[in-house]
Amino acid sequence: MPPVVKPQGTQGFKHKLFFAIFPAAEEAERIHLRAEGLRQQHRLTEGLIEAERLHITLHMLGNYADLIPDEHIETAVQVAARVQAQSFEVELDHALSLQRNGAFVLSDTKRESPFTNFRCDLVRALIQHGFSNHPRGTPHMTLLYSRHHRVAEEAIRPIRFLVQHFSLIHSHTGKHRYEELGRWNLSPDSRP
């Protein structure tokens, strides 16, 4: 079991380890187009995050100044391999700026959904294996960062995408690079 990792602010850290869900490539491009419309609507001048990097963080496992310890990665992989869940749809129905870092995001405001249930189950399993509980508010998909403009929360026409897998990501902070360390498929949804 890894030592308890308490995620902290990103200053001075070069590496992040987290679980995330990503829309499929076509869905990411569709979301990116909607994001461009929202960016223009709110007169945000900063550039959007690339479509292939759009994701929702499920759980932040840690921030690291040096390389991520192998035992943290191995434990995360073991926990993920035991997850059994069906694929599900995410619905992002609000847009807003986060006050703490200026991120302009899409969020899911529902307290009960297949997504929130999946996330809670994963977090519970990670905590049982020594990782910290790291609640960071409402799960969201970051579209861009703006230091100068803040957008009040607003309802939007829902953006939906099907989640068929989740991934363990090593983010190389400041380099705009995600390294996928593992991917786990979810069972196909058996509903008619």
Question: What are the structural domain ranges in the chain?
Answer: 15-91+114-143+161-185
Q: Which residues, in sequence order, are CB contacts of 42 under 8 Å at separation 6+? A: 104, 149, 151
Alpha carbon dihedral 129, 178, 174, 60, in 10-degree steps, equals -20
pTM of the model as a whole = 0.87
How far apart, in Å, do the first and last CA atoms of the chain sit?
A: 41
Question: Per the CATH hierarchy, to which homologous superfamily does domain 15-91+114-143+161-185 belong?
Answer: Cyclic phosphodiesterase (3.90.1140.10)
At 25-77, the pLDDT tens digits run 999 999 999 999 999 999 999 999 999 999 999 999 988 888 899 999 999 99
Regarding beta strands 103-107 and 154-163, do their DSSP bridges make them parallel or antiparallel, or are they unpaired?
unpaired
In angstroms, the CA 7 to CA 122 distance is 17
Look at residue 139 in the predicted model and tell me its pLDDT: 85
Look at residue 136 in the predicted model and tell me its pLDDT: 60
Residue 16: Cβ-neighbour burial (10 angstroms; 0-12, 13-18, 19+): buried
At 104-130, the pLDDT tens digits run 999 988 778 899 899 999 999 999 999
Look at residue 2 in the predicted model and tell me its pLDDT: 45
CB 20 within 8 A of CB 55: yes
Of residues 10, 175, 165, the one with CA closest to residue 103: 10
Q: Which residues, in sequence order, are CB contacts of 180 under 8 Å at separation 6+? A: 167, 168, 169
Look at residue 11 in the predicted model and tell me its pLDDT: 55
